[in-house]
Structure 1
Amino acid sequence: MSEIQGWADLPECLLHSIVARLGLGSAPDLLAFAATCHSWGAAFSGSLATFPPLLLQQAVPCSNNLVPRHPYLVTDIAKVNLGPNPCSEIPLQLDLFSFMGASYGHLILSHRKSCIVVDLFRGISVAPPPLPVNKPTEISYGALTAPLTSRNSHLIVDAALHNLFWRVGSNSWVKCSTRYGTIKQIVVFKGRVFGMDSDRRIFKVHLAPEISIQELPLMECSMISRKLSNAWLVPCGDMLLLVGFRGPLVVSGVTFEVFHLDLSFEPALWMKVDKLENWAIFISTDKRSQPLSCKNPEIWGGRSNCIYCYNHDAKRWTALELGKPLQGDGTESNSNVFIYMGCDSRVQPMWVVPSILSLRR
């Protein structure tokens, strides 16, 4: 008769199965699981790349005593078939603020010369010092380099002529820019901060010992610089990808294109990617929202080698297979798929991961 093992000795495959069944929508349960013991925490950390992001979208406005409310609905697409109502509500009151970006489960918003960073799922907000700008309209983009509670977390905004850096908890902003202007996208890959400007140049952003931006030498790639009208930098496992398409809209017949940044060459080289293998990419409607990736999506009923977007026609998400023309989400024949990229003061449909889980992602 074999000896009965303790809870800490459960097989790793069983622990991963438990984590997968909890899902991202059960963040408190997941954190309690991770804190149980070392082996459970290790299983949780090893499973994070397999969790799909949550879909955030603004609900239809309602009123109560003439006070407008604009709650946000969150859908866990891994549980969409488990019940009639897979959505939960976040009743944030943010009508006075303009959207600047989203990263690590936070919304970055501005109003006049002020901005706030709001944790979507915990309702906690942080207000940096007033922005050193002449006109409020100069602020167009914001991103975090890590969740607010992380060590050395920075908020970076695009202020027309400069990128402004605020180390969370400090009392001032630092101005820095490239010789071409400002960085329009910020991502963190393997612990390093990378940025991209509107001409698809890539930069390394150094936060210590002082703020600096260094251009990364790149071999020219005409397929990227001239033909992709929309493009996103996406950390995906051991790869830093550029995901894009041609034209202002994603409609029938349009396909996404993916390139891998090969840093083993000098200058670095963009390599065409024909297949995402066991990965899926999540692209939000607004380019100022952080794109995300997910490993082995079949675990929760998703599909590998697909790019997940929001279908404005159907008012739901859709999965587009890389290398194939737009054909709907694969669950039914659907030729009326319509995806556009918005960029205004409102919060557009986007993919998010709770900040308390981003700490370990």
Structure 2
Amino acid sequence: MKPLGLGEHGDVTVSVDRGYVVATVQYRNWSGRYVRVKRNGRSKAAARRRALDAVHDQLEYGAEESLTKGTKFAVAVSAWLEMFELLVERGRRSPSTLALYRNISDRIVLPGLGSLRLGEIGTPRLDRFLQGVLRDKGVATAKACRSVLSGVCGWLVRQGAMRTNPVRDLTPIEVENRKRARALDDAEIRAWLAALDSSEFARRHDLPELVRFMLATGTRIGEAVGVTWTDLDLDLGIVQIQRTIIPVKGAGLVAHRVKSDASERGLFLPDWCVEMLKARRVRLGGFDGPVFASTTGGWRDRGNVGKAIRQVRVGTDFEWLTSHTFRKTVATLLDDEGASARRIADQLGHARVSMTQDVYLGRKPTNAANVAVLSAHNPDAPTRPAEDAGDGA
């Protein structure tokens, strides 16, 4: 008998056992193991068909027997998140991204799709689900859900549990009237800081100096609250950004390595920020632990910081302001002074300059070097009289 190749099956044999028609077939799975399948049927044809269908399903929907056409999608999501967590531990993925994906999976993906079986997961079903999320939850949540679905289904393809990734053909999530990056100008910076300084609530939540630090560095909230006194060299005026604080279910606030290699960076501090931090260290007696600690001296929750900022802005001219406004402000200030996109990306901790340009820098006139040439060719300018060429005699 010729040996079976990977994914091949042998002949189907049909017998009658205690009054039941039984079809038996052997196949070789993608791991090289031989697997024998038996299925009953009311007739020889029915039993044979059920046996071959079972072989097809196991080869089509799972390199491992645990991943089959009947496996619940929730099982696949859980397995994918475990794989993603290993990538985070190896420094290949951001812990904040893992936290986002877990949150989106628990709140939206699993309630909507978790009970479906892999054999029921296809482009039409996922498209209806995602369009519903877009309608009910908005663009940002829909994009996060799509990322989770794409990651899970891509992993299933690599496991042999799906032939193709159904997310590839979903309706694109398009943003209408995308908002341009908005930053604080000099007058707005002074007005916003004055609002923080005069707010008892803001002072109680230690916002004035934290916001000033973010305006001096362009750090994310998680990075700013992750800075410790040992990360600072105030004699040289340098801060090392090397961790971010994220909430982990069951573990509370945890310090993790920053988002990417580019996010791990050393930054020179403006003189005014150095003086502020020196005074803060004297006032608080800080030589260890977080620079911007919680009331108990531990890590601060970046979500609570954002919530406090939103509360302070209520009833002011800064209803539009978010915590990311400070990063956009730093990027815009540097851009206005002629800093290159690469330099600005290094300040913000972006690996891709395109991220800095597309999200943090507003569009501005770029033809300064060309306008002089174009101005010299005004089609409506009076025609210059020709030189008198003489009578030619």
Which category of TM-score, normalised to the shorter sequence, fits these structures?
under 0.3
Bigger Rg, which one: 2
Name the structure where helix makes up a greater proportion of residues.
2
Name the structure where strand makes up a greater proportion of residues.
1
Q: TM-score, normalised by structure 1?
A: 0.26
